[in-house]
Amino acid sequence: MNELDSDFYNEVIDVDGLPDYSEAELQPLAGTFGRYILITQAVYWLPFILGALVASWLPFISSSHDYLLVAPIIILALLIYLYRLADARHRGWALREHDLIARSGVWWRSVTTLPVARIQHVETSSGPIERMHRLARLSCYTAGGMTADLVVIGLNADTADQLREHLLEQIRQRDAYGRDEDALPISEQALEEETESESLDFLNQLEDQQDESNFKQDEPDGAPQRRD
């Protein structure tokens, strides 16, 4: 086993000591997001309702059963609207020092945590109805991703711009100074340690040679002569 292997540890981590994301206070969506949902649902379902009303006037459809065309569409639209309202109430986000958290879902809930160190690109976007309500969505991309790895919807437009600028500044600082300038790959660290060890050995050899030379200079040239 080499020196690098001897330094490898794989200790068991105490789960109770892990940080809890729920300690972070999640921010709710913007207050105008509910009205945005109502308008988008109305715009989407209105053509279907009008089409059902027009179809009910057709001569081959009995007037006593025309409600069977319109009622199911209205009920479905209402259920989807209520579901989206519930989804909006359960959504939340939080920006911490090293990551961004987003929560979503009603029955099947998910919590996504994206480290700031992995973010490569950030953008904000908004449609015409979102702009009417001063809303925007924040999209975060990691390296090699064609689609956004994390999207936070229902943000106030000013808040979305502030988050984007903050994350972009973090990316600029990371690219300028590096994630950790002192950290080297293991191979480079091993090479550096080996070079340092060889240098120390060479200096020790020089000191030994210097001590041996000084000892020889202090030693008498020959044995003391006997006097009669």
Q: Give the mean pLDDT of the chain.
A: 80
Bridge partners of residue 101, in order along the sequence:
94, 113
- Residue among 129, 166, 159, 160 nearest 43 (CA): 129
Query: pTM of the prediction?
Result: 0.66
* 8 pLDDT tier (thresholds 50, 70, 90): confident
Amino acid letter, residue 108: W
d(CA 48, CA 45): 5
pLDDT of 195 above 60 = no
3-state secondary structure of 1: coil
32, 135 Cβ separation under 8 angstroms:
yes
**Tokens at residue 98, please?**
């090293």
| Matching CATH number, 26-177, of 2.60.40, 2.40.30, 2.30.29, 3.40.50 | 2.30.29
d(CA 226, CA 228): 7
161, 122 Cβ separation under 8 angstroms:
no
pLDDT of 74 above 60 = yes
Which of 159-164's residues contact partners 24+ apart within 8 Å by CB, and which partners? 159/30, 160/124, 160/136, 161/124, 161/136, 163/95, 163/122, 163/138, 164/122, 164/123, 164/124, 164/138
pLDDT single digits (tens) 117-176:
999 999 999 999 999 999 999 999 998 777 899 999 999 999 999 999 999 999 898 888
d(CA 166, CA 161): 9
User: Residue ranges of the domains in the chain?
Assistant: 26-177
Angle CA(155)–CA(33)–CA(30) in degrees, nearest 5? 40
